[in-house]
Amino acid sequence: MKLIDLSRYGPVHRFADYHVYKTLAVIADGRRRGRKQLAETIGVGEGSMRTILEYLRDHDLVEIKQTGVTISKKGLDFLNGFPIQVGLVTKSDSSIGQTAVAVLVRSMADKIKIGVEQRDAAVKAGAEGATTIVVKGGELWILPDYNLDVHKKAFSAELRSMFQVKDGDVIIIGTGQNYRQAEDGALSAAFDLI
C-alpha cells in the first residue's frame, strides 16, 4: 500500500510510507506539535516533514495552524481503520538488539514465504533484525515449523496480550539498539506486505 504518491510531491524523498504513518500515529493523541518537533520524533529532516504534512493536509488528515499540527477526525478514522498496530515487547532471548517492537499486520499471512523478505526490509530501514510470526490454526508460528505457543510460551502470551490475533495475521518483531530503529524496521517490513 502506498500512502503517498512521491512523484506528485517533488523530487525523490528521503522518507517512506511508514514515516507518514508514524506522523499520524504520533499526533493521534490530540496534542499540537510543531514541524521541527515532529521531524525529530519521526527521524526525518524538516523538509521531508514539510512534505509529509502537506500530503496529510491535502487529504484532510491533519489540521495545520500557527500553533502546530493536530490530527483531524478523518485522520483518526483513517488511523483507527488501518490494518497495523504497534507495541513494545519485552526483550526476547531469541532476538538481537536491545529493543524489540512488534507490529501486527491484519490478514497478510498468505504473503509470507519464510520471513526473510521482512527481515531484509527491516535491516534496510535501519533495524538490526526482524522476526516474522504468522497466525495459523490459532497458533503463533515462525515459518516454516517453529511453534511459539509450544517453545516460547511466555513470549507468545505477551504477544497475545498485546494484540488480539486472528488466523491470517502477521506479527513482525523489529529489533534495534533503540526504539526508533526497531520500530522503523518493523513498520518498513509491514508496509512491504500491505
- Strands of the chain (E only): list them: 62-65, 68-71, 84-89, 99-105, 129-136, 139-142, 146-147, 170-176
- Whether 87 contacts 97, CB under 8 Å: no
- Whether 103 contacts 121, CB under 8 Å: no
Give the number of residues written for the chain. Answer: 194
Residue 112: what are its φ and ψ, rounded to 5°?
Answer: -90, 130
Residue 92: its pLDDT value, please?
Answer: 59
Residue 28: its pLDDT value, please?
Answer: 92
Mean pLDDT, 10 residues at a time, the chain of 194 residues? 51 75 92 92 91 92 93 93 88 68 93 91 92 95 92 92 94 93 93 90
DSSP string covering 154-181: HHHHHHHHHS---TT-EEEEEEESSHHH
Query: How much is the pTM?
Result: 0.84
Q: Spell out the domains of the chain, with CATH numbers in brackets.
A: 6-80 (1.10.10.10), 83-193 (3.30.1360.30)
Residue 150: its pLDDT value, please?
Answer: 94
Q: What is the CA radius of gyration of the chain?
A: 17
The three-class DSSP label of residue 28 is coil
